[in-house]
Structure 1
Amino acid sequence: PVAAVCPHRVSRWAWGEGLRAGQAVALLVQDLGQVEAMRLGLTRLGLRVVCLDCAGRDAALAESLAQSGAGLVVVDTALADAYAGVMGRLTAYPAVWWNGPGADYASLDLALAEHA
């Protein structure tokens, strides 16, 4: 069951994940409508949202992620290969939640459906 990405569901999910005001969440998401819904839901909790450049690869993407200070990153499953390029380039890795079809674990779609 795939649930629509809406700000209310995103807020409830983020709160349940223990995210609190002042923390940062990075988004590596292509669909601007989903990005905006996520941003609205996350900022309701006082979270800082950092949108990563979907065109960025390897070292550039790793640097952007490191500078974001994000403790959690939402990655489109379609961008899994791009995200894989940051492996081995960071000293610490944020928790990853997958957005879109094909996620076997940490699926944002399934988590949002629970908050429907």
Structure 2
Amino acid sequence: MTEIVATAALAAATAHYDRLRGQTIEVPEWGSEGAPLVIYYDPITAAQSQSIVKRAKGNDARATALAVILYSKDKAGKPIFTDDAPTLKAFENDVLPEVIARIGQAILGITGRGADLGN
């Protein structure tokens, strides 16, 4: 009986994650002619979060930048940014950290978006 409950709980958990896919965030600062850039993303998984933490080596700002670089997609699901050293350098030195933080926090799921998300 416990195995059935565990299987049902796991199915419910994975179905919930699937409902959260395809989130969007508008970035007016990076848009053009009054139209904000729309970034599409899926909430990151524990494995993806672990990978970011490992690459960031304890640097929270770098972890946030990496989340944006790695998981921002266009409407077709293609990456917006290239995962390379020049892109990371630009994010760390030439882009407003407040904007990166806002996008990164949404992707990382730390924005307090409400208790009904995904329901």
- TM-score normalised over the length of structure 1: 0.33
Q: Which has the higher helix share?
A: 2
Larger radius of gyration between Structure 1 and Structure 2: 2
Structure number with the bigger relative contact order (C-alpha 8 A, sep ≥ 6) is 1
